[in-house]
Amino acid sequence: MIVLALGLLLVIPAFAQRPLPEGTKVSETALPHRQYPRVDDSRHIYWRLYAPEAKNVYVDCRGQVPMEKDPDGWWYAVSKPMAVGFHFYHFVVDGVTVTDPDCDSFDGRYGRSAAAEIPEGPEGDYYRPQQVPHGSMREIPYWSEYEHQWRRAMVYTPYEYDQPKNARKKYPVLYLQHGMSEDEGSWPKQGRVANIMDNLIAAGKCKPMIVVMNSGNCGIRSGTPGVDFNAWAASFEPVLIQDIIPTIDREFRTKTDRDHRAMAGLSWGGKQTMDITMSHPDLFSYVGLFSAATNVREDQFDTVYNGILADADAFNKKFHYFFIGLGTEERMSSAGLSELLTKHGIRNTFYSSEGTDHEWLTWRRFLKEFVPHLF
Amino acid sequence: MIVLALGLLLVIPAFAQRPLPEGTKVSETALPHRQYPRVDDSRHIYWRLYAPEAKNVYVDCRGQVPMEKDPDGWWYAVSKPMAVGFHFYHFVVDGVTVTDPDCDSFDGRYGRSAAAEIPEGPEGDYYRPQQVPHGSMREIPYWSEYEHQWRRAMVYTPYEYDQPKNARKKYPVLYLQHGMSEDEGSWPKQGRVANIMDNLIAAGKCKPMIVVMNSGNCGIRSGTPGVDFNAWAASFEPVLIQDIIPTIDREFRTKTDRDHRAMAGLSWGGKQTMDITMSHPDLFSYVGLFSAATNVREDQFDTVYNGILADADAFNKKFHYFFIGLGTEERMSSAGLSELLTKHGIRNTFYSSEGTDHEWLTWRRFLKEFVPHLF
């Protein structure tokens, strides 16, 4: 058996003839002890795949990158210079989607996908583990009465939450949502929430808080033909309000008033955040829209969300912090939202992420900018 | 942007002409809202893949299962009757390994892999979430001085660990290892440790305890040509002893004496468990060998592990419980170990898992049988 298992290990094709390209290093997203995918300081991604019988192979990574075949059966490609940050990709081999066997797997792109990361450099230390006290990223199951099924919540608790001296101390809560096609595993893994929170809390830059992440995919299912975008996004609201918040307030030591509850979300989750917080000002007092797929029509400004935007003074007293972020390389429907709110007297903070696209480095930066203003 | 994203959703090929096979249901391992992989009550797995241009496609799942192409470009296959439980698989399309896009991804098979599960039926309720108090499966980073890198530990804490009244209560610890090719994510995900522990603790069948899971892949790397199997397995020992145990005893409320520390592991991790516990009787007093890739040569019985097996009386006083488990459908080198130990007067419990192979249902059952005897 042992011999058999070791035999399996050695079935891996022999190393390619092509030497590793100079000036490159292995992507942070590669599996342990692999050589590819690689990146360089000029923001290129280097891929390879063994497919000796294939006729046509390309990489799908924000556009198609053709691969080139060597006589030994290995295909290679190099991307154009990419925005810094995290980019999903897959290979397409004679029409079939192929996941890179050398890469870790991330929840996203409508399934499980490989990804490469162009590092931010030392500025990215805020999302890497450091020698500071570490909180826990926890997984807990909970029964959703609304969905009538078991679901999974990811819950970050700060280091001090577990200290015996704090055994009766209560904490504020941030509900944090992923984007379309991803799920509750996305912020913990590619979002690196625990590292970001550990580092900010250790530096005294934000208050210790609980961060709760759930799948926003409820009720109406993704990919349902003819699905109404608004109805699909809205299907998360009753699950959050009726099932998740009561579960978290029961299972964790939380402060349960609106002054100690925040919500933020990215892209599609930003739309959910806007819709839910504006419809439930009794429950939330902090709002974060990260590259949000949402906007407000000016001709409906005074009526939308039960007219909550019509009275700017009342709104500004109610909401303690309203954050809107966009990357300079992305185009989202929320692009004009900050100006529109400001024009109507609604206080908000706009943050522009330099050089980043609709991807995870943008959202890691937003989280880092957002949470210091909470609670 | 929204329109673009929804457009992507609809690029998914139209549903196949072939109706869903009668008497089948979606595997528990499929991604949400997918139709495949499927299983039936006769322990078959049903697969499909869209690959209109491919010439030769098969499934690699404990042997090769040829796939058959329909005129619409979809390929189908049905397995032979499988052992109940969890089976890794992948497609091979014209020589290229393809991960099933409809399936969740699991750490294993030398990368990230799909898997299907033949359910045990209602007897499997012990590894499914139930309406009982739930502990947390936590992820924490820690610095390994020995490996000189950040590593990740998965730590199960029982429900009562978080109750304020227990804020100064200390708990015993089980260190639990995965098999070759897998990692610290395997027991939490495919092993369903949190559900098993939650259910046993709620039923009063085992003591509340902390369960700690780490990657056993250290030092010498898997896949290194000419690697010595023993040296590879042994490379985990200093990391566990010097880095992990001190970290867990510092970060969690643990009982730190040998009477409150257990170790168990499956397959290759069973070999590590045997080697480490027999070499460190000062640290461990409970041992679980799950389908272990280990044995003891009778002609070395009195000398191996510094002669710890030579004095059965002393051994039986030292180790409170010694568990050896094997599935009836698997062949492992530890098959004769229980008899050999018994013949030499060493007390041990042998448990045979009926109808299961070298796979996760076997190991879920062993965990359920093992932990009630701890502490």
Catalogue the long-range contacts made by B34-43 (C-beta closer than 8 Å, 24 or more residues apart): B34/B102, B34/B103, B35/B102, B36/B100, B36/B102, B36/B103, B37/B89, B37/B100, B37/B102, B37/B103, B37/B114, B37/B116, B39/B116, B39/B117, B39/B118, B39/B119, B42/B81, B43/B81, B43/B82, B43/B83, B43/B84, B43/B118
Per-residue pLDDT at B220: 58
**pTM, two decimal places:** 0.92
- Average pLDDT on A305-326 reads 97
- Kindly identify which residue of chain B lies nearest to residue A128, measuring between CA atoms: B150
Per-residue pLDDT at B107: 82
Of B99, B136, B223, nearest to A99 by CB-CB distance is: B99
In degrees and rounded to multiples of 5, residue B78 shows phi and psi of: -130, 135
Residue A165 has pLDDT above 60, yes or no: yes
State the architecture of B18-119 in CATH terms: Sandwich (2.60)
Cis peptide before B37 (omega within 30 of 0): yes
- Quick check: A293 and B1 CB within 8 A? yes
- Average pLDDT on B298-316 reads 96
Residue A3 has pLDDT above 70, yes or no: no
Per-residue pLDDT at B50: 94
Expressed in angstroms, the distance from the first to the final Cα of chain A is: 57
- Kindly identify which residue of chain A lies nearest to residue B227, measuring between CA atoms: A6
Helix, strand or coil, per DSSP, at residue A209: coil
B-contacting residues in A 127-166 (Cβ below 8 Å) = 129, 131, 134, 136-143, 150, 155, 162, 164
Residue A118 has pLDDT above 70, yes or no: yes
Cis peptide before A81 (omega within 30 of 0): no
pLDDT tens digits, one per residue of A81-90: 998 889 999 9
- Average pLDDT on A92-103 reads 92
* Listed range (A142-156, B230-244, B309-323) with the worst mean pLDDT: B230-244
Residue A73 has pLDDT above 90, yes or no: yes
In total, chain B counts a number of residues equal to 375
On whether any CB of chain A is under 8 Å from the CB of B284, the answer is no
Q: Please, which pLDDT band fits residue A18 given cuts at 50, 70 and 90?
A: confident
- Rounded to whole angstroms, how far apart are CA atoms A307 and B192? 47
| Contact status, residue A284 vs residue A355, Cβ threshold 8 Å | no
Retrieve residue B251's tokens.
């970060």
* Listed range (A214-223, A338-347, B40-49, B277-286) with the worst mean pLDDT: A214-223
Q: Same CATH topology for A18-119 and A125-373?
A: no
Residue B7 has pLDDT above 60, yes or no: no
- Average pLDDT on A141-163 reads 95
Retrieve residue A105's tokens.
């797997």
CB neighbour class for B265 (10 Å; exposed up to 12, middle 13-18, buried from 19): buried
- Average pLDDT on B81-94 reads 91
Retrieve residue A54's tokens.
């294939």
Q: What percent of chain B shows pLDDT beyond 70?
A: 92
| Contact status, residue B97 vs residue B369, Cβ threshold 8 Å | no
pLDDT tens digits, one per residue of B8-43: 443 445 554 689 999 999 999 998 878 999 999 999
Distance from the A230 Cα atom to the nearest Cα atom in chain B, whole angstroms: 11
Pick among B88, B89, B112, B291 to test the A interface (most A CBs inside 10 A): B112
Q: What percent of chain A shows pLDDT beyond 70?
A: 92
Q: Please, which pLDDT band fits residue B122 given cuts at 50, 70 and 90?
A: confident
- Quick check: B101 and A95 CB within 8 A? no
Q: What percent of chain B shows pLDDT beyond 90?
A: 77
Per-residue pLDDT at A8: 42
Per-residue pLDDT at B109: 65
- Rounded to whole angstroms, how far apart are CA atoms B366 and B375? 17
| Contact status, residue A352 vs residue A326, Cβ threshold 8 Å | yes
pLDDT tens digits, one per residue of B219-245: 755 455 566 777 777 889 999 999 999
- In chain B, residues with a C-beta closer than 8 Å to the C-beta of A96 are 49-51, 53-54, 93, 96, 98
The ipTM, to two decimals, is: 0.90
- Rounded to whole angstroms, how far apart are CA atoms A339 and A346? 9
On whether any CB of chain B is under 8 Å from the CB of A1, the answer is yes
Per-residue pLDDT at A224: 57
- Average pLDDT on B86-90 reads 93
On whether any CB of chain A is under 8 Å from the CB of B110, the answer is yes
Of B136, B167, B217, nearest to A32 by CB-CB distance is: B217
- Quick check: A99 and B96 CB within 8 A? no
CB neighbour class for B122 (10 Å; exposed up to 12, middle 13-18, buried from 19): exposed
- Average pLDDT on B34-59 reads 95
The domain made up of B125-373 is a member of CATH 3.40.50.1370: no
Which residue ranges make up each domain of chain B? 18-119, 125-373
- Kindly identify which residue of chain B lies nearest to residue A170, measuring between CA atoms: B164
Per-residue pLDDT at A226: 63
- Quick check: B131 and A142 CB within 8 A? no
In degrees, rounded to 5, the angle at the alpha carbon of residue A43 between the alpha carbons of residues A42 and A47 is 115
Residue B361 has pLDDT above 80, yes or no: yes
Retrieve residue B186's tokens.
């395997």
Write the CB contacts of B167 (distance below 8 Å, at least 6 apart in sequence): A164, A167
| Contact status, residue B254 vs residue B248, Cβ threshold 8 Å | yes
* Listed range (A217-221, A223-227, A367-371, B221-225) with the worst mean pLDDT: B221-225
- Quick check: A141 and B331 CB within 8 A? no
Per-residue pLDDT at A84: 84
- Average pLDDT on B112-124 reads 89
Residue A225 has pLDDT above 70, yes or no: no
From residue A68, alpha-carbon distances to A18, A43, A59, A77, B100 in Å are 12, 20, 11, 6, 25
Q: Is B172 left (phi over 0), alpha (psi -120 to 50) or beta?
A: beta
- Quick check: B332 and A221 CB within 8 A? no
SS (H, E, C) B152-192: EEEEEECHHHHCHHHCCCCECEEEEECCCCCCCCHHHHCCC
- Quick check: B141 and A131 CB within 8 A? no
pLDDT tens digits, one per residue of A280-302: 999 999 999 999 999 999 999 99
* Listed range (A337-351, B92-106, B253-267) with the worst mean pLDDT: B92-106
Residue A279 has pLDDT above 60, yes or no: yes
Pick among A31, A36, A72, A136 to test the B interface (most B CBs inside 10 A): A136
Q: Please, which pLDDT band fits residue B147 given cuts at 50, 70 and 90?
A: confident
pLDDT tens digits, one per residue of B291-301: 999 999 999 99
How crowded is the C-beta side of A373, counted as CA atoms within 13 Å? 20
Q: Please, which pLDDT band fits residue B347 given cuts at 50, 70 and 90?
A: very high
The residue whose two tokens read 């033949």 is: B118
Residue B2 has pLDDT above 60, yes or no: no
- Average pLDDT on B169-197 reads 95
CA B30 to chain centre: 19
Q: Please, which pLDDT band fits residue A15 given cuts at 50, 70 and 90?
A: low
Retrieve residue A141's tokens.
């199951």
- pLDDT, averaged across chain A: 91
Residue B130 has pLDDT above 60, yes or no: yes
Write the CB contacts of B364 (distance below 8 Å, at least 6 apart in sequence): B126, B127, B191, B192, B196
